[in-house]
Chain A
Amino acid sequence: MTAVTTGPRPVGDPPAGEDARARFFAAAPAPEGGAAPDLRVRLGSLTLRNPVMPASGCFGPELAPLVPTSEIGATVTKTVFARRRGGNPTHRLTETPMGMINSVGIPSLGTDGFVREMLPRYRAMAAPVIVSVGGLAVGEYLTVMDELAGARFDGVEVNVSCPNLEHGGLDIGTDPDAVARVVSGVVARTDVPVLVKLTPMVSSIAEVARAAEEAGATALTVANSFPGMTLDPRTRRPVLGNRVGGVSGPAVKPLALRLTWATAEAVGVPVIGCGGISTVDDALDFLAVGATAVQVGTAHFARPFVMAEIARGLAARCAAADATRLTDYVRTLGET
C-alpha cells in the first residue's frame, strides 16, 4: 500500500509547476510588431483587438484565472436589471442533444449592486467591458441606463430577448416599435457604442434589425438562445423548474448562422454572430456570412479558454493564408 501523503495544505497558492493552463498562457502570441496578423474590428467608436467576445451570461470574472483575457476582444457582463432578482427555481439547466437548455432567470444584483460588486471585477480584466442591460418593460432599460451614469464601461448590449424569463408574453424584441423605443432611449443616455441583442423568435429578423439600426444601434448581436423544453424520461415531467428554457450550443448553430446572414443582408451596421460557436471554423462561418464579430457562449463550459483558442486560431488562419488583416482574409472566404 502507498504511504499516506495527503493532509491539510496551504491554500491560495498559484498552480504548481507546469500544467496545460500554464503552457497555454505562456504561449501567448507576441504583443506588437512582427508579422502578427491584424485581427482588429470596429464597432462604432470601439475598436476591439479581435472579434471574439463572450455571450452574456456565459462568462464572468470567475474565468479570469483560466483564460488570458488580454487575448479576447471584449467581455460582456451578465444582463443587469434595475432591481435585484433571485432567478428561477431549480433545475436551471440540463444537457440536450449537442447542446443544453437553461432557464436560470438572470439573477441580478440590481444596477447598484452590479456597479459596486461586479463591474470592478470586469474592469480588472484586460479587455473592454460591454454591459448587458435588461428590462421587463421599456422603462426599466432606461432606468438601468440612468443608474449606470457615472460608471465606466466601454459598450452597452441591450438584451431585448429574454426567452426564458417567467414573465411570459411577447418579448420586447419581437415588437419593432418597442425595440426602437428602447434603443433610442438607451442611445440618448450614453456615449458608448450600443449593441442590440436580437431575439431569434421573430418571423422577420430583418424588420426588427432595421428598427434597431434606425433607432441608433451601433451593432446587432444575432441571436439569443432558442425557446425549448425537455422532459425527464422517467417522469415525463419538465426537467427545468421553469418548465421551458433557452436552447444553446452546437445544435443551434445552423439556425443562428441563417439569422446572422439574413441580418447582415438587411442592415449596414456591424453584426455580431452568436449561436453554437465553439471552434475557429465556427467563427469563420459567421464571419463569412457577414458577421463582423462573434460571441461564444456554451462552449466556455467544456473549454474555459475557448475564446483565446479561437482568437489564436484566427491569427493562425490569416498567417497561413499570408493575410495581414483578418478583414482581408474573411473577404477571401467562400471564393473558389
Chain B
Amino acid sequence: MTAPLSRSLAERVVPLPPAARPEPTWDECRVVAHEPVGDRYHRLTLRAPSIADRALAGQFVMITIPESTPSRSVLPRPMAVHRRRPAEGVVEIVYGAGGAGTRALTEVAVGEDLLVTGPLGRGFTLDPGTRRVLVVGRGIGVCSVMGAVEDAVATGVEVVAVTSARTTEALVGPGDLAELGVERVLAVTDEAGDSAVPALRSRLAGELADGPPAQVFVCGSDRLAELCRSLGQEWGARVQVSLEAHMACGLGYCHGCATAATTTGSESPLICADGPVFALPTGGGDR
C-alpha cells in the first residue's frame, strides 16, 4: 500500500455502509516464511492466529519496522492481508520493497518476530445475492482483493480474476488463485503486451459475455479502477475499490490519510478507518 494516492480516484469514492468489524489487536508475530516473489516483491508468512482467525476480506495490518534494522523507521507500514489461514494460525503478506523501511523489512529472517497491529479498516462486502464477482488487481494490489476471493470461493460465488503486472515474474496471485480453485484467471503483463486497458476491456467483455458479474472488486491501479467503473456501468454491477495511502496510525486518530480533504467544512473520509475499501459510483444505477 505504498503507491501514491490518486486524488482523482480518491475524490470520487463513497464510504460503504458501516459494518461490524473485529476489534484490532497487536501481536509479536513469528516470521515462518519470507522469500522474494519475482524481481520486486516479497512474501511474508506470519504466525498471527488472532488476526488470521478474524481478519475480514480487504482488511489490512500495520507492520512495525523492527528497531534492530538500520532504517530507524518511525512509521509502521500498512499492508493488505493477502491470505488468511486460520487453521494454521498464519497470515500471508506480499509487499514491495520500494523504500528504506520496506527494504529493511526484507532483512528480517525466519524465526524473528514482527510487531503487527490489526486487523484494520473496512473491507470488501460480498453481497448476499451475488453469484459471480470480477476481481481485478495490479501488482500487489492483488493482495487486497484476495481475501474477497477466499470468501467468494468458500460461499460458492464464481470468481473471474484479473492479475496484472509489468512482467510475468512480477505477477501476484496466480498460485493463490489456482490453490483456491479459481479457473477463470486472466494474467496480463506489460511485457506480453496484453495489459493495456482497451485490450483487457475487450477480453473481459468476451470472457463475461455469458453473464456479467454483480460485483467488481479492484485495487492497485487507477486505470484499472476506471475500467472497472466503466464496465460496472455497462453491466449494472456494483464496484468496490481499495485505496492506498501514506498512513501513520492505521486506526483513524491521526487523521493522516483523508481521501481528499479541504480546509473548510467537514473532513473527507479516512482511508484507514472509513476504507480502505470504498464504493466507486459507476454513474449507472448502482448506488
- Residues of A participating in the B interface, judged by any CB pair closer than 8 Å: 1-9, 11-22, 57-63, 65-66, 78, 84-95, 97-100, 102, 104-105, 107, 166, 249-250, 278, 298-305
How far is it, in angstroms, between the C-alpha of A66 and the C-alpha of B50 when the chains are bound?
14
Chain B residues with CB under 8 A of A92: 246, 255-258, 261
Chain B residues with CB under 8 A of A90: 5, 7, 10, 245, 257-261
Closest 6 CB pairs of A and B: A60-B253, A7-B154, A62-B251, A19-B27, A107-B267, A6-B150
Q: Is the CB of B154 within 8 A of A302?
A: no
Main secondary structure of the interface of B (DSSP, over half): loop
The total of interchain contacts (Cβ-Cβ below 8 angstroms) comes to: 207
Q: Is the CB of A301 within 8 A of B49?
A: no
Q: Is the CB of A99 within 8 A of B74?
A: yes
- Does B223 sit within 8 A of A, measured CB to CB? no
- Does B109 sit within 8 A of A, measured CB to CB? no
Which of B83-91, B159-167, B190-198 lies at the interface? B83-91
In the assembled complex, the CB of B286 is this many whole angstroms from the nearest CB of chain A, namely 22
Additional pairs, 9, CB under 8 Å, beyond known A86-B263, A303-B115: A8-B126, A8-B154, A12-B22, A17-B50, A65-B24, A65-B25, A88-B263, A104-B256, A107-B255
- Residues of B participating in the A interface, judged by any CB pair closer than 8 Å: 5, 7, 10, 19-28, 48-50, 53-54, 56-57, 62, 64-65, 72-76, 83-88, 99, 101, 115, 117, 126, 147, 150-151, 153-155, 178-181, 245-246, 248-268, 273
How far is it, in angstroms, between the C-alpha of A167 and the C-alpha of B152 when the chains are bound?
49
Given A15-B25, A65-B24, A91-B246, the answer on whether A86 and B155 have CB atoms closer than 8 Å is no
Chain A residues with CB under 8 A of B180: 4
How far is it, in angstroms, between the C-alpha of A91 and the C-alpha of B64 when the chains are bound?
21
Q: Is the CB of B24 within 8 A of A16?
A: no
CB-CB nearest in chain B for A14: B23
Given A95-B74, A98-B74, the answer on whether A107 and B53 have CB atoms closer than 8 Å is no
Chain A residues with CB under 8 A of B26: 19-21, 66, 304-305
Q: Is the CB of A5 within 8 A of B252?
A: no
How far is it, in angstroms, between the C-alpha of A189 and the C-alpha of B214 when the chains are bound?
58
Q: Is the CB of B56 within 8 A of A11?
A: yes
In the assembled complex, the CB of A211 is this many whole angstroms from the nearest CB of chain B, namely 30
- Contact of A6 (CB < 8 Å), options: B22, B84, B248, B262: B84
Chain A residues with CB under 8 A of B56: 9, 11
CB-CB nearest in chain A for B252: A62
In the assembled complex, the CB of A118 is this many whole angstroms from the nearest CB of chain B, namely 10
Chain B residues with CB under 8 A of A84: 265-266
In the assembled complex, the CB of A125 is this many whole angstroms from the nearest CB of chain B, namely 12
Chain B residues with CB under 8 A of A11: 19-22, 54, 56
Q: Is the CB of A89 within 8 A of B260?
A: yes
In the assembled complex, the CB of B39 is this many whole angstroms from the nearest CB of chain A, namely 20
How far is it, in angstroms, between the C-alpha of A2 and the C-alpha of B179 when the chains are bound?
8
Chain B residues with CB under 8 A of A17: 49-50
Chain A residues with CB under 8 A of B21: 11-12
Q: Is the CB of B72 within 8 A of A97?
A: yes
Given A11-B21, A86-B265, the answer on whether A5 and B258 have CB atoms closer than 8 Å is no
How far is it, in angstroms, between the C-alpha of A13 and the C-alpha of B57 when the chains are bound?
16
How far is it, in angstroms, between the C-alpha of A91 and the C-alpha of B250 when the chains are bound?
15
Of A84, A278, A300, A302, chain B has the most CB atoms within 10 Å of the CB of A302
